[in-house]
């Protein structure tokens, strides 16, 4: 097997280990990150960023939507599960991940709440499952015995693959014969063209560049499968929310305003603003990828979280036996209480 791949078993174990933090670990979060129990509310939020891109909180801060709240960058995240684990253990104040990962973290006894949507899929921002132009794969059943490369297992893109197979009539037994493999996104196009995998998940700039080269076609996309939807959320610990309600309200409402600014601002203007943000922060980053930015993909106005954005993944995880039936209601996992967007 190529060195770029890791086995399904190993990758799955690593992913679940990353999410499997205990309640004891969460309770050991730093006093600073969780408010410290003092009367004053935290006004500087620690967070992890992403190389060469602008997160919604960074955009909100630059647009002046955070009032007296500031951000303190502590490094860049390596994945959504790692980002929310850092928030749950008090190393940062908030983190973003796929909603299925948020559910898994909550199932691991982490006292967290999702407070606003962070990313999603729409006609501009989506994930596609691509095959070579001359591939015989045309349907879900054609995937039996084939390799599908994606960025991580047990998360967004494996969930979408499972839903695609189920909705197209594959039994659970047949679905297990479709082999999901971890392939780093930067290697996915090469692995597909070299026929090391039969299907590769491509998103963003990597998708656009691959399509521009030609010779590949989509089998399906996540937005075709589900329609526009928000896939991930920002989470905070319940303790931090309780101790810092005004800060949380400012943060969530500011992010909501940034979502709508990005949705309504001409793309060229938005890209220029983000490029300037990256340059100003002085982290020696390449801004080339920003030229391909089109959307954050958040479906709901102001990033408000509807039940269905969690119910879909609750059903999926329940079917996989990764959570207990009825263990959570969607409303157990999120709150819109602090989202003041549109409230005057």
Nearest to 175 by CA among 153, 146, 202: 146
C-alpha–C-alpha distance, residues 113 and 248, integer Å: 12
| Whether residues 148 and 173 fall in one domain | yes
pTM of the model: 0.84
What is residue 292's predicted lDDT score, i.e. its pLDDT?
86
Would 343 be classed as within a structural domain? no
Would 134 be classed as within a structural domain? yes
For residue 250, CA distances in Å to 86, 263, 294, 341 come to: 21, 20, 26, 10
Domain boundary among 226, 249, 276: 226
| Whether residues 102 and 54 fall in one domain | yes
The CATH number for 24's domain is 3.40.190.10
| Whether residues 204 and 143 fall in one domain | yes
What is residue 152's predicted lDDT score, i.e. its pLDDT?
83
72: region left, alpha or beta (phi > 0 left; psi from -120 to 50 alpha) = beta
Domain count, the chain: 2
| Whether residues 77 and 216 fall in one domain | no
Would 178 be classed as within a structural domain? yes
Mean pLDDT of successive 10-residue segments in the chain (344 residues)? 39 45 45 55 96 95 97 92 94 96 95 97 93 97 97 88 95 96 93 98 90 96 94 97 98 98 97 96 90 92 97 92 92 97 78
Would 338 be classed as within a structural domain? no
| Whether residues 222 and 247 fall in one domain | no
What is residue 15's predicted lDDT score, i.e. its pLDDT?
43
| Whether residues 157 and 295 fall in one domain | no
Would 250 be classed as within a structural domain? yes
Domain boundary among 183, 203, 226: 226
What is residue 17's predicted lDDT score, i.e. its pLDDT?
47
């Amino acid at each position: 097997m190529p060195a770029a791949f890791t086995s399904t078993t190993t990758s799955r174990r690593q992913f679940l280990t990353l999410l499997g933090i205990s309640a004891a670990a969460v309770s050991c979060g730093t006093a600073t990150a969780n408010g410290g129990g003092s009367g004053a509310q935290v006004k500087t939020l620690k967070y992890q960023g992403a190389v060469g891109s602008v997160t919604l909180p960074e955009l909100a801060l630059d647009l002046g939507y955070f009032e007296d709240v500031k951000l303190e960058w502590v490094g860049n995240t390596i994945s959504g599960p790692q980002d929310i684990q850092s928030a749950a253990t008090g190393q940062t104040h908030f983190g973003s991940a796929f909603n299925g990962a948020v559910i898994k973290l909550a199932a691991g006894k982490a006292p967290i709440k999702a407070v606003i949507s962070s990313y999603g899929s729409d006609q501009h921002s989506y994930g596609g499952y691509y095959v070579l132009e001359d591939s015989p794969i045309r349907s879900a059943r054609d995937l039996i015995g084939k390799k599908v490369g994606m960025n991580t297992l047990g998360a967004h893109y494996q969930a979408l693959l499972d839903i695609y197979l189920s909705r197209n009539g594959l039994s659970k037994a047949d679905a297990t014969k479709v082999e999901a493999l971890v392939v780093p996104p930067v290697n996915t196009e090469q692995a597909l063209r070299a026929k090391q995998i039969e299907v590769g998940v491509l998103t963003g700039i990597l998708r656009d560049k691959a399509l521009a080269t030609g010779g590949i076609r989509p089998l399906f996309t996540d937005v075709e499968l589900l329609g526009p939807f928000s896939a991930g959320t920002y989470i905070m610990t319940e303790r931090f929310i309780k101790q810092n309600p005004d800060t949380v309200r400012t943060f969530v409402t500011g992010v909501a305003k940034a979502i709508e600014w990005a949705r309504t601002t001409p793309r060229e203007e938005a890209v220029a603003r983000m490029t300037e943000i990256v340059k100003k922060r002085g982290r020696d980053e390449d801004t080339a990828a920003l030229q391909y930015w089109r959307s954050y993909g958040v479906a709901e106005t102001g990033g408000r979280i509807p039940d269905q954005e969690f119910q879909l993944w609750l059903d999926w995880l329940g079917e996989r036996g990764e959570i207990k039936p009825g263990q959570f209601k969607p409303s157990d996992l999120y709150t819109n209480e602090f989202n003041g967007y549109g409230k005057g």
